[in-house]
Amino acid sequence: MSQKTASVNGEVEQPPETPLETARHQLEQAATHVDVDPNVVERLTYPMAVHEVRVPLERDDGTVEMFEGYRAQHDSVRGPFKGGLRYHPDVNREEVMGLAMWMTWKCAVVDLPFGGAKGGVNVDPKDLSEDETERLTRRLTNELRNVIGPQTDIPAPDMGTDAQTMSWIMDTYSVQEAETTSAVVTGKPTAVGGSEGREEAPGRSVAIIGREVLEYYDYPISGSTVAVQGFGSVGANAARLLDEWGATVVAVSDVNGAAYDPTGLDTRSIPSHEQEPEAVTEYAEETISNEALLELDVDLLVPAAIGNVITEENASDIQADLIVEGANGPTTFVADSILDERGVEVVPDILANAGGVTVSYFEWVQDINHRTWSLDRVNKELESVMIEAWDAVRHEVETRDVTWRDAAYVVALSRIAAAHESRGLWP
Ligand code: NAD
């Protein structure tokens, strides 16, 4: 079988703790499989820049509070920086550096002409009124004014930010430029240059990869059983599409637990997180816990809620034959190794949920060209990008005898390294 990700000399290493450690580990791991100049690996170990700003916010009561904001820009050898902007109390310098590196791999695996970035503000968005969120966003945009731009670095929504946040960024930037600059951010409302299909895209790409992996391992989609953890933007869209394409979705969940029906759920009748937050179990005839969902004996398991849910503790109890990662980082480092030893195939997040950044790219292309694509065109183009990426990763799995995760990193690193070697280092 494939090489063990977390095993060194037969001993399982401690899992990397931060996104930066994970991202660096994955780079080192990929570099062992690719004939790449070590100087390029050295360059990719560090972000090109981490911008740190202090954002003053006038609270509704008139007092002023200072917040820390960041924008990490990892690598732009293949094109402008691209990545989310999050408002969350855990945001810090190391986290955005690691997540920016992940974005570099994600963009490269689906062959988008972007490099990775990530940013955010260390703030709990639930503590802000809407007016405060708008003021914080506009001031942050001003502080990052010289480092973002449609040809340099293009933010997108992430945890705690949404289409409205992007609209405020676009407006603030455009006012300062004295021209409407839609392409400075993606994930905007369609009224101001957002793309059709953007919201559904990460779930759609997860479903496409789910369909492909089932077919690859000879599980006909009609008749295959699927469990999906998380019924939000990613999970609900993935579950509904797989259901529509003939799979039997036996369980879906939210933070409160899972709806379960071994004969198959009607996924359209269950409200998604957006339609009615945390209501999955309210309509269910039979419920099980999230822990039990992860251990169901299904053909395909899609963890699409949060990170680190498949761990050293439960990896030996996972009964699914195939896993497609919908969430970012749902499988820990050690769990990955246990699953590999047990022959459970895990298709990684950087491939499976890359539909989000792919349709962000389509949005950017539409904005730059002042054209609007139909939903049908967006979905067709997404399908073709995902299938090309799937084929490239599958090729590495078959020729190098590595895991799907390693294969995805090999595809990404090979493309990035080729661009670095071609452009060279100046001076
Ligand atoms: P969301 O907020 O729309 O939905 C999250 C769902 O997970 C909800 O149903 C919620 O109840 C459930 N949930 C939360 N905590 C849980 C827990 N402890 N156990 C079980 N369920 C829990 O979020 P989303 O946008 O669908 O994102 C889900 C994951 O996918 C995250 O890891 C996110 O980073 C990743 N992701 C999202 C996008 C995107 O554009 N939305 C793109 C790529 C990756």
Is the minimum distance from the CB of 253 to ligand 1 under 6 angstroms?
A: yes
Distances from the Cα of 205 to the Cαs of 39, 41, 133, 387, 411, in angstroms? 34, 29, 31, 10, 18
Determine whether the shortest distance from the Cβ of 182 to ligand 1 is under 6 A.
Answer: no
Distance 133 CA to ligand 1 centre (A): 22
Instruction: Indicate which residue's Cα is closest to atom 19 of ligand 1.
Output: 255
Average pLDDT for residues 145-164, to the nearest whole number? Answer: 97
Our answer on whether the CB atom of 181 is closer than 6 Å to any ligand 1 atom is: no
- Contact (CB, 8 A) for 126 and 137: no
Q: Which of 27, 25, 21, 29 lies closest to 40 in space, CA to CA?
A: 27
Kindly state if the Cβ of 353 falls inside 6 Å of ligand 1.
yes
Q: Is the pLDDT of residue 257 over 70?
A: yes
Kindly tell me if the per-residue pLDDT of 166 is higher than 60.
Answer: yes
Tell me the CA–centroid distance for residue 178 and ligand 1, in Å: 37
Ligand 1 in reach of 327 Cβ (< 6 A)? yes
Q: Which of 198, 107, 206, 33 is nearest to 415 (CA)?
A: 107
Partnered with residue 66 across adjacent β-strands are: 56
CA of 230 to the centre of ligand 1 (A): 6
> Quick one: which of 266, 277, 265, 197 has its CA closest to 231?
277
Question: Has residue 6 got a pLDDT over 90?
Answer: no
> Ligand 1: which of 161, 185, 255, 363 to mutate, judged by most atoms within 8 Å of the beta carbon?
255
pLDDT at 18: 82
**Measured from the CA of 305, which atom of ligand 1 is nearest?**
7
Residue 125 near residue 343, CB atoms below 8 Å: no
Nearest CA to ligand 1 atom 23: 232
| Ligand 1 closest atom vs CA 349 | 44
Q: According to the model, what pLDDT value does residue 14 have?
A: 52
CA 110 to each of CA 157, 197, 341, 386: distance values in angstroms, whole numbers, following the listed order: 19, 17, 28, 7
Q: What pLDDT, in 10s, does the model give residues 62-74?
A: 999 999 999 999 9
* DSSP secondary structure letter of residue 231: -
Q: Is the pLDDT of residue 387 over 50?
A: yes
pLDDT at 22 over 90: no
- Can you give the pLDDT at residue 17? 63
Q: Kindly indicate the confidence band of residue 42, based on its pLDDT and cuts at 50, 70 and 90.
A: very high
Atom of ligand 1 nearest to the CA of 306: 32
Q: What is the mean pLDDT of the chain?
A: 95
Query: Ligand 1 pocket: which of 103, 234, 382 to mutate (most atoms <8 Å of CB)?
Result: 234
What integer pLDDT is reported at residue 261 of this predicted model? 98
| Separation CA 368–CA 377 (nearest Å) | 17
How large a percentage of the chain has pLDDT more than 70? Answer: 96
118 counts as catalytic? yes
Assign 25 a pLDDT band (cuts: 50, 70, 90). confident
User: Ligand 1 test: best mutation among 233, 274, 288, most atoms within 8 Å of CB?
Assistant: 233
The pTM assigned to this predicted structure is 0.95
Q: 258 with 292: CB under 8 angstroms?
A: yes
| DSSP per-residue codes, 259-327 | EE-TT---GGGSPPTTTSTT-TGGG-SSEE-HHHHHT---SEEEE-S-SS-B-TTTGGG---SEEE--S
Among 118, 126, 188, 380, the active-site one is: 118
- Using the predicted structure, report yes or no on whether residue 15 has a pLDDT greater than 80: no
- Cα separation, 417 vs 157, in Å, equals 28
